[in-house]
């Protein structure tokens, strides 16, 4: 039996990375968010916000990296592989900025399926902006709906994770996974 691919998604500043880090400390295989790496690499080349300046180039790099992560999940031992964001997040962000993207984006999202999608809703109490997270909280709320729409467009059932401590959120996710699989 191959591993289950589990996405933890949500708008900026919803606690995804904290959950992924905690799951990893608990011994789960995790694939980390790569958008910051792409942004930082572009900044070193003099492009302050690659997504804002060249959204298609940024998204192509992101899709390539997330597809690589998806395929790396095949070589994991049995169990769950958790992903900090999934490929449909890319089309959600492109739709949010009303930018065109190649049909290959949708084909790749459709043909490389995750097993479960957990979506973290906006949470003002924990939201913080920084050098790579430039969106306002209001924009994060809008992005949340674009994420919901994108995953539904690719026929996923989205499970919303309630606010709570990291431990409470992880318990919620793991309990749901027991019911699903």
Cβ–Cβ < 8 Å for 90, 45: no
Cβ–Cβ < 8 Å for 37, 149: no
Mean pLDDT of the chain: 92
pLDDT at 104 over 60: yes
Whole-angstrom Cα Rg for the chain: 16
Cβ–Cβ < 8 Å for 143, 93: yes
Cβ–Cβ < 8 Å for 13, 120: no
Q: How far apart are CA 170 and CA 149, in angstroms?
A: 24
pLDDT at 30 over 60: yes
Cβ–Cβ < 8 Å for 133, 49: no
Instruction: Dump pLDDT digits (tens) for 106-129.
Output: 999 999 999 999 999 999 888 887
Q: Which one, of 3, 5, 10, 1, lies nearest residue 151 by Cα?
A: 10
Q: What is the pLDDT of residue 34?
A: 93
Q: Structural domains in the chain?
A: 4-180 (3.40.50.300)
Instruction: Return the structure tokens found at 1.
Output: 């039996």
Q: What is the pLDDT of residue 76?
A: 63
Q: What is the pLDDT of residue 77?
A: 64
Instruction: Dump pLDDT digits (tens) for 125-176.
Output: 888 876 656 678 898 899 999 999 999 999 999 999 999 999 999 999 999 9
- Give the torsion sign (CA, 51, 81, 141, 148): positive
* Confidence tier at 13 by pLDDT (50, 70, 90): confident
Q: What is the pLDDT of residue 118?
A: 98
């Amino acid at each position: 039996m191959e591993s289950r691919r589990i996405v933890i998604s949500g708008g900026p500043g919803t606690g995804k990375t904290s959950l992924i880090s905690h799951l990893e400390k608990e011994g789960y295989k995790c694939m980390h968010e790569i958008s910051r790496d792409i942004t930082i690499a572009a900044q070193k080349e003099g492009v302050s916000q690659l997504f804002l300046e060249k959204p298609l180039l940024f998204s192509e790099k992101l899709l390539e990296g997330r597809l690589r992560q998806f395929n790396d999940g095949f070589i994991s031992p049995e169990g769950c592989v958790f992903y900090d964001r999934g490929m449909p997040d890319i089309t959600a962000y492109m739709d949010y900025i009303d930018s065109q993207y190649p049909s290959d984006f949708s084909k790749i999202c459709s043909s490389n399926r995750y097993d479960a999608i957990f979506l973290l809703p906006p949470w003002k109490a924990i939201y913080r902006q920084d050098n790579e997270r430039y969106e306002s909280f209001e924009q994060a709320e809008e992005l949340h709906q674009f994420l919901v729409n994108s995953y539904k467009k690719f026929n996923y059932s989205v499970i919303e994770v309630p606010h709570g401590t990291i431990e409470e959120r992880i318990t919620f996710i793991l309990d749901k996974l027991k019911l699903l699989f």
